[in-house]
Amino acid sequence: TMVDALTPAVHTFKKSIEVDDLDPIEALAKAVDAAERGVAFTVPIRARKGRASYLGWRSVGHQDPGATSTLIILEELLAVAAERLDVDVPETDAGSPTIPDDDPDDVDPEDD
């Protein structure tokens, strides 16, 4: 759900600030890119949390709506911050962001 987009975004943002010493707008742009990858990660897996979990296996092949809405919020946050600071949104590639520890092949029978 929301965590699928937030986790890689937060890890990437923190690393971008603390390790890569990027300015906040560049770090936020990288975080948005990582959130996009987090949303893409939800497509091949079965939703086990949130409202999408009611669909069970029918959720496979669809991006999670909670992760998608979180991505939209992060994109708008970046756009407003860039507009207020009067800077261009930098083109980024977050590389390999930290994706939630969820293996699509690792299905726990207890969750059914």
Asked if residue 47 belongs to a domain, the reply is yes
User: Is the pLDDT score of 104 beyond 50?
Assistant: no
Asked if residue 48 belongs to a domain, the reply is yes
pTM of the model: 0.76
Q: Which of 4, 12, 23 is nearest to 90 (CA)?
A: 23
| Count of domains observed in the chain | 1
36-83 pLDDT, tens per residue? 999 999 999 998 887 788 888 988 999 998 999 999 999 999 999 999
Asked if residue 104 belongs to a domain, the reply is no
For residue 79, what are the domain limits? Answer: 2-85
Helix-strand-coil split of the chain, %, nearest 5: 60, 0, 40
Asked if residue 40 belongs to a domain, the reply is yes
Q: How far, CA to CA in Å, does 70 sit from each of 4, 26, 67?
A: 9, 19, 5
Asked if residue 58 belongs to a domain, the reply is yes
